[in-house]
Amino acid sequence: MGYRVVVVGATGNVGREMLNILAERQFPVDELAALASRRSLGTEVSFGDKTLTTQDLATFDFTGWDMALFAVGSAATKDFAPKAAAAGCVVIDNSSLYRYDPDIPLIVPECNPQAIHGYAKKNIIANPNCSTAQMVVALKPLHDRAKIKRVVVSTYQSVSGAGKDGMDELWDQTKAVYNPTSERPPKTFQKQIAFNVIPHIDTFMEDGSTKEEWKMVAETKKIVDTAIKVTATCVRVPVFVGHSEAVNIEFEEFLDEDEARDILRESPGIMVIDKREPGGYVTPVECVGDFATFISRVRQDSTIENGLNLWCVSDNLRKGAALNAVQIAELLGREVLKKG
Ligand SMILES: NC(=O)c1ccc[n+]([C@@H]2O[C@H](COP(=O)([O-])OP(=O)(O)OC[C@H]3O[C@@H](n4cnc5c(N)ncnc54)[C@H](OP(=O)(O)O)[C@@H]3O)[C@@H](O)[C@H]2O)c1
């Protein structure tokens, strides 16, 4: 016996990837419902070798469904996730709406699987921001060995992090550079994204940081350790899929770069590719469609007492969203619901 699973936002970037990953990992599904807005009513989406017809979230009855993987924005989540949860269907949510609620667990299964049992308070589990998820997979095993004091991270985030509209904007603007008659002014992004980089993701906060940067700080603390200090600069770059991060880590204890590489090699969800030669590192186009978070360029930072630098790359639609949500569903099945 398997699960009755709902994918909410099934026509979007993350929702489509959720359907792919549920099929790829052979998640024990008895029945699957694909939901989106009324705009997409009847749109067909693929689930393995099956084709599903999209239903309207607004009129869907969640009674009798085991779990719902939500990948819609915060507004639709706010309207519908509590209804699903109240109907007894466990919500695994990709939006930022519930991540900072102390009564809702925020989970990266490689880091804090024990938090799963907290789901029962509200019948909701939160999935972290894409840039946080890949970073904490690397930080957690290093923290367990040498206790992290402070992290300084700069991100290079792909346009798919802004949904399908973000991908269309990069595509159209890139074409327009060669054909100025089809000019495409910025809409999803604040400035031209083609052949450019933009140091601004999400809204500005009072202290001058952006919400995306604040999310990396708050979520790292909730998932790994409240004592870790994080400072982030988040930048949008003209890459379709795959987020990259340059991470500087200061530890309480000394950690040799070779030992750090060995620890990361042994850690779940991580692939170390780190040869000190041209091309001996991973770039975002190479991580697309992969489950792993890739670590390269591990090296001592000799400007501080116990410091390391590393380069971290992952498919933001996978580890940053859909894969992590499916891993949470697997954890929920294994530890709590115990079907399948
Ligand atoms: N992309 C990432 O890397 C990433 C990472 C982590 C978290 N997230 C989060 O995941 C969520 C989805 O992101 P995405 O990138 O997949 O966005 P997307 O490509 O723009 O897709 C949005 C999906 O939500 C549906 N939707 C929007 N409003 C709706 C409503 N009122 N009722 C029902 N369905 C509605 C859309 O359906 P229609 O096609 O019918 O409009 C579509 O299926 C967002 O909360 C985002 O912040 C994304």
Q: What pLDDT band is residue 183 in, cutting at 50, 70 and 90?
A: confident
pTM for the complete prediction? 0.96
| Residue 339 DSSP symbol | -
Question: Judging by beta carbons within 10 Å of its beta carbon (0-12, 13-18, 19+), is residue 151 exposed, middle or buried?
Answer: buried
Does residue 159 contact residue 166 with C-beta atoms inside 8 Å? yes
Strand duo 3-8 + 67-70: pairing: parallel
CA dihedral 136, 139, 145, 150 (to 10 degrees): -120
131 lines ligand 1 (CB under 6 A): no
pLDDT above 90 for 117? yes
- Rounded CA-CA distance 135/173 in Å is 30
Ligand 1 atom 30: residue of nearest CA? 37
Ligand 1 contacts CB of residue 14 (under 6 A): yes
Span 22-53, pLDDT tens digits = 999 999 999 999 999 999 999 999 999 999 99
- Binding residue per annotation — 157? yes
pLDDT more than 70, % of the chain: 100
First to last CA, the chain: 5
Between CA 190 and CA 201 the distance in angstroms is: 9
**73 Cβ inside 6 Å of ligand 1:** yes
**Any binding-site annotation on 99?**
yes
The answer for residues whose C-beta is within 8 angstroms of residue 93's C-beta and 6 or more apart is 70, 77, 81, 124, 125, 126, 127
Specify the ligand 1 atom closest to the Cα of 14: 16
Q: What is the C-alpha separation between 196 and 258, in angstroms, rounded?
A: 36
